[in-house]
Structure 1
Amino acid sequence: MYTKDGICYAGELVPDIEVSSIKILDDGMLLVEFSTGETRLFDVTSLLDKGSAFAPLSKEENRRTAKVIHSFVSWLDGEIDIAPETLYSESYKYSKEDYAF
């Protein structure tokens, strides 16, 4: 457990990983840019299996409220958030070349 910006989080802080920006995609997907310079793809719907705290994210309109606050991704004005190290470890490598049509 650790505290960052006055907020207590489960897990361990990985100091070199922060979320720089996100792009909300369709079907519950986020394109996440990290402080490492990497861009990764994260399936927000995968959080639905992690407990009732994430249940509001079953609705597309709630998933679309995602924004970056203090290098964390947050939904519903801070009601729900996820640490950057979790986003990183549970996301997939993304390259524009890999997904070009």
Structure 2
Amino acid sequence: MTPDVIQVRPLPGYVLVVQFASGECRRFDMRSLLRYPAFSALQDEALFRRAHVEHGTVVWTDEIDLSPDMLYLRGQPVDVADFSIQEPLHPMG
């Protein structure tokens, strides 16, 4: 079972860094998804930067979200310490 997302940080270039309840962090590149109608609104960088966590899932609006499964299985493992000098991750809301 995939762990829930507990924190998310949107980065330039339509990249998300997410931390899971297991303590693992993964980097997920959203660019390939932006061509699909369900995610096309995220081409607006201001909207993309509003990514946050609700109920273990990354969400932007009531209609746009990403499952923890996709983020975990397709994301690249990263060390959370690599991002410690940048702005803090957005915690669960």
Q: TM-score with structure 2 length normalisation?
A: 0.77
1:88 corresponds to which of 68, 72, 77: 72
- Within the alignment, does 1:68 sit opposite 2:53 as a pair? yes
Aligned CA RMSD, in angstroms, stands at 1.5
Paired position in structure 1 for 2:15: 29
Paired position in structure 2 for 1:52: 37
Gaps of 5+ in 1: 1-13
Once the two structures are TM-superposed, the CA of residue 79 in structure 1 deviates from its matched residue by 2.1
Identity %: 36
Structure 1 outlier segments of 4+, above 6 Å? none
Gaps of 5+ in 2: 83-93
Aligned residues: 81
- Provide the rounded CA distance (Å) in 2 between the counterparts of 1:46 and 1:38: 23
Q: TM-score with structure 1 length normalisation?
A: 0.71
